[in-house]
Structure 1
Amino acid sequence: MQETGNNQSQTYNLSIRLHADGFSFYSYNPATTEPVAIEDYIYHEEESVAETLKKAIGQSAIVQKRNNSVVYGLVTGLSMQVPLECFRKEEAHALYRLTYAQEKTGKTYYNILPHLEIAQIFTVDLEVERILSQYFPSIRFYHSHTMILEKLWLLSQQDKRQLYAYFDEKEVFVFGYREQRLCYANAFPADMADNAVYFILSVWKDLKMDVRQEECILLGNGNIKNDTARILTRYLQNVRNTDTADIYRRSTLARNQQLPFDLLALWVHVI
């Protein structure tokens, strides 16, 4: 399994982001006048996931134009973190099933996060994984949380505690670091700002963070994030509502609001 943090000199031009209601194809070629291409696909009740995926691969201009055998799959949804000292790859599937017993069984993958000394365990839908592996035998899967945890670790301040909240697909992923180590990470449902505020403040209290001195940083997109930031200012003195351009100030790609934060992190730090 691949580690994060290993930049490659090659330019890659196909990434597939899997999300709750569909998937998206992305390509990046800095040599062209329009370097980014995006194709979005939504699952429909009258068509199986497999049929939608096969049809999209057959029709996609991005897939047809790719010139590199390596494909990157970016997975959203549930994941879990395990300290490397406790991680055994042969136990990854059983550990994930024990943690998420009610979830649909998928193909288990893991990413190694060397800076944080943890393994990120997640699953890919069995049918989706089978089809993608059939069409793209060298596909490499990464989890969205892997990209986020690694990037924000690089930016975290040692002298000031910060709690992060990443918004995506009606979910908020809350995490924080202490002494350059991951001290908390968990995802919560966030279909409303009030719910997100409740979970963020609960974590803040559990971590015994200072409402006056320490900082809450919001990432991602959407109205729920903005509403959450506004409400949080009633309870916390230091709330920072950021966007991708605030984090990747040197990247022109960060100004493209169609690129999710996790995908940009994948392009910058892995590909």
Structure 2
Amino acid sequence: MQNEAYNILNNRLTIRISQSFMSFAVINQASTVGIEYEPYAVKNGISIAANLREAFNESALLGMGFIKVQVMIDTPVLLVPIEEFDESQKELLYSHAFTRLGNDIIIHTILPNENAVALFPLNKDLNMVINDHFNDIRIIPMMQSVWSYMHHRSFSGNRKKLYAYFHDHKVEVFCFKQNRFKFYNHYKIVTPYDASYFILYVWKQLGMDAQNDELHIFGSINEKEVLIEDLKKYLRGVYVINPEAEFNRAPITKIKGLPIDISILFLKGR
């Protein structure tokens, strides 16, 4: 890799971190796809912080000396209406909603278009590793770019839309009503029937119309045909969002294995 192609001082490296997967990406003007993308296999038996520490010795991108970073964290998110948010109470509020392991801090990020604040935990050791290597740091929930893009997308047409994003062995289900979240939750899944059950349960809970409303599914979907077949037994409008078609065949969509959340972040921003 040639450092000149990356603008080390000004470009912001993106690190995506989940429990089972890590990846690094940065704008690369010399690349035909516009970015450099590097997946990293997380080692079992050691913490995510230890994995990231080791990655600095093994990753070509991490070893280039970027000083700016944007970290996408895949941890459970609590959404709070923006008018009810009190920063001094965020630790207490999150602790009431989720079980905490005791070695984390609660980060918050404002979602102005959705009139919400996202609260999510960051492991203290992981935070230390990040601060040891970067000077300019942004930390966001992994779903932020997805929410923002799909919220904008939800205004097209008159039908209600439910979205289901598949990644990292789970599905994130959400929808909007005007400029607010109407529903958001995530579910761990093993089989496509698990996903179908949770999606249909949410659909029923929201009182959506099986004939007229729309379900949009996207992401890394195992046994996609089985899932679609099962969903179409109950819902008329089931649509699969294909990144290449969605983003007008943008070169970035040709990168094999690139999560859609990273595609959206680089193409549409946060």
Q: Do they superpose with TM above 0.5? A: yes
Instruction: Tell whether 2:140 aligns with 1:142.
Output: yes
Instruction: Tell whether 2:252 aligns with 1:239.
Output: no
Partner amino acid for 1:201? L
1:123 to 121, 128, 143: 121
Cα displacement string for residues 9-54 of structure 1 (whole angstroms, at most 9, x for unaligned residues): x973521110112422223312335642313131232x45443322
Partner amino acid for 1:131? V
Alpha-carbon separation, structure 2, partners of 1:38 and 1:231: 35
Alpha-carbon separation, structure 1, partners of 2:226 and 2:189: 12
Q: Is the CA contact 1:11–1:29 (under 8 Å) kept in the aligned structure 2?
A: no
Q: CA deviation at 1:202?
A: 0.9
After superposition, residues 259-270 of structure 1 pair within 5 angstroms as: 259-270=258-269
Cα displacement string for residues 161-188 of structure 1 (whole angstroms, at most 9, x for unaligned residues): 0111011111111111123432111111
Q: 1:19: which partner in 2?
A: 18
2:86 to 85, 88, 95: 88
1:101 to 99, 103, 117: 99
Q: Is the CA contact 1:158–1:179 (under 8 Å) kept in the aligned structure 2?
A: no
Q: 2:38: which partner in 1?
A: 38
1:257/1:191 CA distance change after superposition, 3 Å: same
Alpha-carbon separation, structure 2, partners of 1:84 and 1:22: 31
After superposition, residues 186-225 of structure 1 pair within 5 angstroms as: 186-225=185-224
Which of structures 1 and 2 has the larger relative contact order (alpha carbons within 8 angstroms, sep 6+)? 1
Alpha-carbon separation, structure 1, partners of 2:42 and 2:180: 37
Alpha-carbon separation, structure 1, partners of 2:201 and 2:42: 34
Partner amino acid for 1:221? S
Q: Is the CA contact 1:244–1:255 (under 8 Å) kept in the aligned structure 2?
A: no
Determine helix, strand or coil for the equivalent of 1:61.
coil
Q: CA deviation at 1:226?
A: 4.3
1:224/1:82 CA distance change after superposition, 3 Å: farther
Partner amino acid for 1:97? S
Q: CA deviation at 1:243?
A: 2.5
Moved more, 109-118 or 239-248: 239-248
1:75 to 73, 76, 81: 73
Partner amino acid for 2:38? I
Partner amino acid for 1:70? K
Q: Is the CA contact 1:218–1:229 (under 8 Å) kept in the aligned structure 2?
A: no
Q: 2:163: which partner in 1?
A: 164
Partner amino acid for 1:150? S
Q: CA deviation at 1:92?
A: 1.5
Determine helix, strand or coil for the equivalent of 1:191.
coil
Partner amino acid for 1:74? M
Q: 1:7: which partner in 2?
A: none
RMSD: 2.2
Q: CA deviation at 1:221?
A: 1.2
Q: Is the CA contact 1:176–1:183 (under 8 Å) kept in the aligned structure 2?
A: yes
Q: Is the CA contact 1:191–1:224 (under 8 Å) kept in the aligned structure 2?
A: no
Alpha-carbon separation, structure 2, partners of 1:264 and 1:33: 15
Determine helix, strand or coil for the equivalent of 2:200.
helix
Alpha-carbon separation, structure 1, partners of 2:72 and 2:25: 11
- Tell me the TM-score normalized by structure 1: 0.87
1:89/1:28 CA distance change after superposition, 3 Å: same
Cα displacement string for residues 81-129 of structure 1 (whole angstroms, at most 9, x for unaligned residues): 1110001122112211111025554221111111111011111222111
1:127/1:74 CA distance change after superposition, 3 Å: same
